[in-house]
């Protein structure tokens, strides 16, 4: 049960970060909806559960951004950079909360 709760929280946080990152990079993208971002968040959550293929989630997300969001390569790289920075910041925040 705790794994399911962690997966749902990870999917919702991932979805909101994907939606926000695409909104920052391409403000007028009509395909940037919360439903598509939730699908991307679930995919990110599933890929994060596979310990032996950590880079596969980035490739799947890049493919998703290219084909479903119609973003170009520079925009995809910007979205991935924003997501990596956001997840690193959230990870550091969690470490500080646990050690406090």
Q: Which of 91, 98, 76 is nearest to 13 (CA)?
A: 91
User: What local confidence, expressed as pLDDT, does residue 61 receive?
Assistant: 87
| pTM of the predicted model as reported, rounded to 2 decimal places | 0.84
Give the per-residue pLDDT at 54.
65
pLDDT tens-place string over residues 57-82: 788 889 989 999 999 999 999 999 99
pLDDT digits (tens, 9 = 90+) for 20-59: 999 999 999 999 999 999 998 888 777 777 766 667 878 8
Q: What is the pLDDT of residue 32?
A: 93
pLDDT attached to residue 81: 93
Of 95 and 53, the structure prediction assigns the larger pLDDT to: 95
Its domain, for residue 94, covers 2-99
Higher pLDDT, 23 or 14: 23
State the chain's mean pLDDT as an integer. 87
Counted domains in the chain: 1
């Amino acid at each position: 049960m705790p794994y399911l709760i962690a997966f749902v929280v990870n999917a919702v946080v991932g979805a909101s970060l994907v939606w926000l990152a695409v909104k920052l990079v391409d403000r007028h993208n009509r395909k940037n909806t919360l439903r598509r971002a939730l699908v991307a968040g679930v995919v990110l959550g599933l890929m994060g559960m596979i310990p032996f293929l950590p880079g596969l989630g980035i490739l799947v997300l890049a493919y998703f951004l290219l084909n479903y969001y119609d973003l170009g390569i520079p925009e995809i790289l910007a979205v991935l950079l924003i997501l990596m920075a956001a997840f690193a910041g959230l990870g550091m925040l969690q470490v500080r909360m646990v050690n406090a």
